[in-house]
Every structure is written in structure tokens, then in C-alpha cells.
Amino acid sequence: MRRMVSIVSLPAVRRWLLVALIVRLLFVSLLSGDRYYFSDARHYDQGAKQILDTGGLTSRYERPPLYAYLLAGVYAITGPSFTAARVADALLSTLLCLLIFVLARHMFAERTARWALALSALYPHFILLCGLIYPTNLFTFLLTAAIAALIMVKPLLPRALLSGVLLATAALAVPAAIFVLPVFLISLAVIPKTAGRKFSAVTLFLLAYALVLTPWTMRNYRLYGRFVWVQFVPNTVLPDFNDLDNRETEVINGFPSTTDYKNHNPHGSEEDRLDRLALRYIKHPVKTLTYALSEMGHFWALYPDRLNTLDHDYRRSAHQADPRMSLNGERMWPLVPLLSSLVMAPIFIFSLVGFWFSRSIRSSSHWIFFGVLAFMTLGYSMITAEVRYRIPVEPCLLVFTALGMQMCWRQLVTQKSRRSEKKSSVPVC
């Protein structure tokens, strides 16, 4: 705690945190207080109201629980208010900027951390998340906190305990946290010097991880009659390797077949068992590899090429289900590919430069970051990949970007200094 207070007391840090908060609040102020813009927001809003009305989530709720509880906490203070929820997300996003600074300073240096803080304060994706009424912002913060605990906490057992709790809590916001679970286990199993300490760390991590998830897992087992990982995933959401022709249409249109399936099977069927879902991939290894490589392109696209709420018919149907769903905003989207590409292209380039230089600075932390990026990419590419799914690991990307920008700037300054020295050393006739 003292360390965080001393960090916040730094003038440069305070200035950039203030900039981050002001930019996010300004963005929130431009949005309608009684409208939402991403269709899934309706489900979390309904879940929050269920919690306030009944003291918990009913059997009708099938999403991860954590963001609904966060909304319920906000609503308990302010009443049902999208603006209040967005302000809470703005505060959380500002704390994320601070966390990115702390991580970057621990891994590299103060100067790199300032670059990372400035980037995160003005990063468009982090700002946009504050307006969606969606769990990605919460997930991004918790996942980054779990990574920070894994990298920064010095005593091994407290590191295992805290990172296990935080990663499991992140999974209660977005189940995709399971994709990076191997990175945490490998880190805890490799870094300690003695086998006994490795075993103790991994065991404690898994115990903490399981205890956090147990209450929600038991609730799901009672509801669905089978093991469900945080959220009910219908088999229709996963790729059908016997018929991939209509996959892109399904994704863009918001999985209409899944909606129909849920209407007829509200608690799923035997086809949704984890072993049967896994067999889909096992039976089609070549198609699985081809499909995953294709989805990686969507995951690392320069702009959001898949957003079901951009489809006019989908937005209209969502508006009919809940009039608070906004039908406006399509006029701006033709500009999004260009603007997003202008931002993301240099970020990708500088992040590659930063990753290259990081190899010789602090290898363990550097490889943990790389592992998180790689495993999240692989996990989503096996299902469905979109740019918005990449945002939770973009703090890792921005730290590499900050290092790359700093190193390039240092090279420019050094070269300029050398040219000046050579010029001054030329004898005057």
C-alpha cells in the first residue's frame, strides 16, 4: 500500500491519471444515460436488477456473475443508471492505467513506465470500454492484476495464493481467463529453484483458484445437471467442422442458430458436455488447425471487423426486445477501419521492437507477458476470435509498445548526438 501511495504521489503519474480520468468522463458524458450500444448489456443490467430484487441471480441468468454484481453495487448506491455504471467503469479504467504503470516500472524502468502510462491513458480501446456496459473492462483490470501478482509478489506462496484468487475472480467476469491458466502454472512450476517449493506453489494456486470458483460451479451443476465452466456454452457457438461455410454469417449476425437452440433447450443438452465439445476438435485435427490460423487473423486485425451490433437487422431485433438498445451510430462506423488502423499499426510495430529489446532486460517477466498474449490468441482462435476479445491482453501489448517507443527514441537521440559530435570535430579551414 505504501508503495502505491508513493507511486501516485509522483507528479507525472498524477497528471496522466488525471488526464485518463477526464478523457473517460468526457466520453461518458457524450453518451445517452438511458441507452446502451452493445446488445449484451441488457443481460447484465437484468442480472443486476435480479440481485437487488431477490438477493441473488435467478436460474434465468446464464452469464458470468461478477459484472452483474458490480452493476448491482452501483445501482444500490445510485439507482439503475447507465451513466453511473459508466462512471464506475471510468474509475476502474483509470486504475488500470496505474496498474500498467506499476507493472512496466517493475519490469523495465521509470521512463518506460511513463510511456506506458501515457499510452494507456489515451488508448482508444480502454476509453471505449467505459461506455459499453460490458464485463471486458472489469476482466481486463482483474487479469492485469493477476499478472502483476504473478510477476511482482516476491514470497512464492503469497504470489501463488494471490494470483490464483485474482485469476479465478477474472474468470467470474469472463470465462476466457482459463486460456491463460497454463501460463500461471508453468511460471509457478519453473521459476522456483527447488521441487518442493514448486509443488507447494502450484498446489496453493490451484486450491485458491478452485475455492473461488466452487460456489458458482455448484450453482451451475444444480441448474444444468453437469459441469459447466462459469458460463453455459451451447455447442452451436463452437465451429461445426462438418459445415464451416456459414460460420462467418453466424458470427456477424449474432449466432441466430444459438438463439433458436437456447429457446428450445434453455439448459442445453447432452451435446453441450465438455467431452463432446472436445471431440469436435479431436476428430478434425487438420480443419481445426486451418480454422485456428484463420481466426488468429481476426484476433489481431487492425480494426474490429466483427461486431454483431453493426448488423442493422440484429440491432433492430435487439431494439424490439429492449427499446433502450440504440439504433443510432452507424454513420460513424465507416471511419472506424481507417482510424483504428492508424492507431494500431504503429502500436503493433513498436510492440515488436519492444519485445525484441525486452529479451535482454528481464527474461522471466518478458516471457510471462508473451505467454499471456500467445495463449489468449490460441484459446479464442479455437472458438471465435474478435478484436474486442483481444483488449484484456492489450496491457501486455502496451508495455512492449512503450519499451519499443522508448528504445527507438533513444536510438534517434544517440544518432543525433553522434552526428553533432562528428560535425563539430570536422576541422575548419
Q: Does 421 map to a domain?
A: no
pLDDT at 418: 77
- The mean pLDDT value for 151-170 works out to 95
pLDDT at 4: 62
Q: Does 19 map to a domain?
A: yes
Domain count of the fold of the chain: 1
C-alpha triplet 141, 90, 406: angle, nearest 5°:
65
User: 3 pLDDT band (50/70/90 cuts)?
Assistant: low
Instruction: Assess whether pLDDT exceeds 90 at residue 320.
Output: no
- The mean pLDDT value for 352-378 works out to 88
Which range among 45-59, 117-131, 245-259 shows the weakest confidence by mean pLDDT?
Answer: 245-259
- The mean pLDDT value for 397-410 works out to 94
- The mean pLDDT value for 374-396 works out to 95
CB 295 within 8 A of CB 384: yes
Per the structure, the complete domain to which residue 66 belongs is given by 2-415
pLDDT tens, position by position, 58-96 = 988 989 999 999 999 999 999 999 999 999 999 999 999
Task: Give SS3 for 192.
Answer: coil
Q: Does 425 map to a domain?
A: no
Burial 164-189 (b: 16+ CB within 10 A, else e): bbbbbbbbbbbbbbbbbbebbbebbe
Per the prediction, the chain carries an average pLDDT of: 90
**Most distant CA pair in the chain: distance in Å?**
92
C-alpha cell at 172: 467470474
DSSP type of residue 316? H
Q: Does 209 map to a domain?
A: yes
pTM: 0.93
Q: Does 169 map to a domain?
A: yes
pLDDT at 429: 46
pLDDT tens, position by position, 244-295 = 888 888 887 778 888 899 889 888 888 888 889 999 899 999 999 999 999 9
* Residue written as grid cell 488508448: 123
pLDDT at 308: 65
Write the CA distances from 233 to 64, 283, 382, 392, integer angstroms.
11, 20, 14, 20
Q: Does 400 map to a domain?
A: yes
CA dist 400 and 46 (Å) reads: 39
CB 305 within 8 A of CB 298: yes
User: In sequence order, what are the beta bridge partners of 36?
Assistant: 325
- Of 74, 150, 123, give the one whose Cα is nearest residue 399: 123
pLDDT at 2: 60
pLDDT tens, position by position, 344-357 = 999 999 999 999 98
Percentage, residues of the chain above pLDDT 70: 93
pLDDT at 362: 60
CB atoms within 10 A of CB 145: 22
pLDDT at 112: 93
pLDDT tens, position by position, 4-13 = 666 776 788 9
pLDDT tens, position by position, 176-201 = 999 999 999 999 998 766 777 889 99
Percentage, residues of the chain above pLDDT 90: 64
